Amino acid sequence: QVQLVESGGGSVQAGGSLRLSCAASERFNRRRAVAWFRQSSGDERDFVSAIWLSGDNKFYADSVKGRFTISRDNAKTMVYLQMNNLKPEDTAVYYCATGSTMILSSLRNPSAYSVWGQGTQVTVAS
C-alpha cells in the first residue's frame, strides 16, 4: 500500500504563496489520479485540485482556479500544489490523496480515493 506524506504548509499573510508537496512511498504508476483536498474544522473535505495521471490532465476547484497549480515530477513520486495569492478563506488542513479505481467523473469526490496523507496546515492571515 502506497503511503503519502504532505509537507510545505505554514502561516502566510494574504497575498502570499506556499508550495505543498506530496511524497509517495512508491511510484504512482498503478494510480489513476492524485488530488489535493482541504478541510476546515468541522467541515467536509473539499476538492481543491487533481491530476489525472494518464494524459496529465489537471483539474481545479473554481475557488482556486488561476491561483493554484498542480504538478508532478518526472520520477512519478511527487505531486506539488503551488498556491499563489492566498486568501484567508484558503485556511485549512490540506490533504493529498490517490486511488487506483476511480473514474474521471468521480475525481472531485473524496470517497473515490483510497489512500490519504496525514495533512498539512495552511493558515492565511488577513
Grid coordinates given for 109: 469526490
CB atoms within 10 A of CB 15: 11
pLDDT of residue 120: 98
123 band by pLDDT with thresholds 50, 70 and 90: very high
Grid coordinates given for 50: 487533481
Phi, psi of 76 (to 5 degrees): 65, 35
Helices (H) and strands (E) in the chain, counts: 0, 11
Residues pairing with 38 in the sheet: 46, 94
pLDDT (tens digit, 9 = 90+) per residue, 73-86? 877 899 999 999 99
pLDDT of residue 104: 87
pLDDT (tens digit, 9 = 90+) per residue, 10-59? 999 999 999 999 999 998 877 889 999 999 987 899 999 999 988 789 99
